[in-house]
Amino acid sequence: MSIQQNLEKIKSSLPEHVTLVAVSKTKPISDLMEAYNAGQRIFGENKIQEMVDKHKQMPKDIVWHMIGHVQRNKVKYMASFVSLIHGVDNLKLLKEINKQAKKQDRIIDCLLQIKIASEESKFGMTSSEASTVLQSEEFSELKNINVVGLMGMSTFIDNKSQIKSEFNYLKQTFNKLVSSHKQLTTLSMGMSGDYQLAIDCGSNMVRVGSSIFGRRNYSI
């Protein structure tokens, strides 16, 4: 199936309230343009340099999401155009995003990444760390960022019931935080293998790569 056909199939299966982020990391511009020409406007990348390069070469109405782990010293390269940063997992990083957004006279939307997976390798805060950040004085002084929701990645495992309980945990965390922080509206969870399950568990933003663009080849 072509990229366009994959996209159409996925979009037709998504409820109206769910936003599709097309995860285009490692894929060439020609593939992204195929998705663009099929109407896709939101693209997700996990490396800042790659996103900067693609942003330069592609139409300016694309909405760029940074979905990977963010190194503080690289925030400046994307601050002029990034629309949503999914993987924010500490206050120091929020401060740097705020600083760079201010230089650009922008307000940058962010999601707090919550660690839901059992793997050590996955980044993220605990639910109580996120709560502490949102209630802190320092956070309230950051005028050039908006924390608009939460993001999580499930364990890389073929066990639906474990993935489901991780998604449910994230949704509960989201509900708990929303009660005192009404600005939280986005819950980014679900990828190619599990986005339907994620939506059933309350996701309203899914990050889908290989089901749109095909398998990634990391050797090139």
Ligand X SMILES: *Cc1c(COP(=O)(O)O)cnc(C)c1O
Query: What residues make contact with ligand X under the rule CB under 6 A?
Result: 23, 25, 46, 67-68, 153, 191-193, 207-211
* Cβ 192 to ligand X shortest distance, Å: 3
CB nearer to ligand X: give 171 or 190: 190
What is the tally of helices (H) and strands (E) in the chain? 10, 8
Min dist. Cβ of residue 57 to ligand X (A): 21
Residues with Cβ within 8 Å of 8's Cβ and at least 6 positions away in sequence, in order, are: 38
Phi and psi (nearest 5°) for 15? -60, 155
- Cα–Cα distance list, 85 to 88, 158, 205 (Å): 7, 27, 13
Shortest distance in whole angstroms from residue 28 CB to ligand X: 16
Q: Which is nearer to ligand X, 144 or 210 (CB)?
A: 210
Which residue minimizes CB distance to ligand X?
Answer: 209
Q: How far is CA 89 from CA 48, 86, 136, 169, 214, in A?
A: 16, 9, 15, 17, 29
Strands 145-151 and 186-188, by their bridges, are parallel
Residues whose CB is less than 8 angstroms from the CB of residue 105 and which lie 6 or more positions away in sequence, other chains included: none
CB 114 to ligand X: min, Å: 13
User: Shortest approach of ligand X to residue 72 CB, angstroms?
Assistant: 18
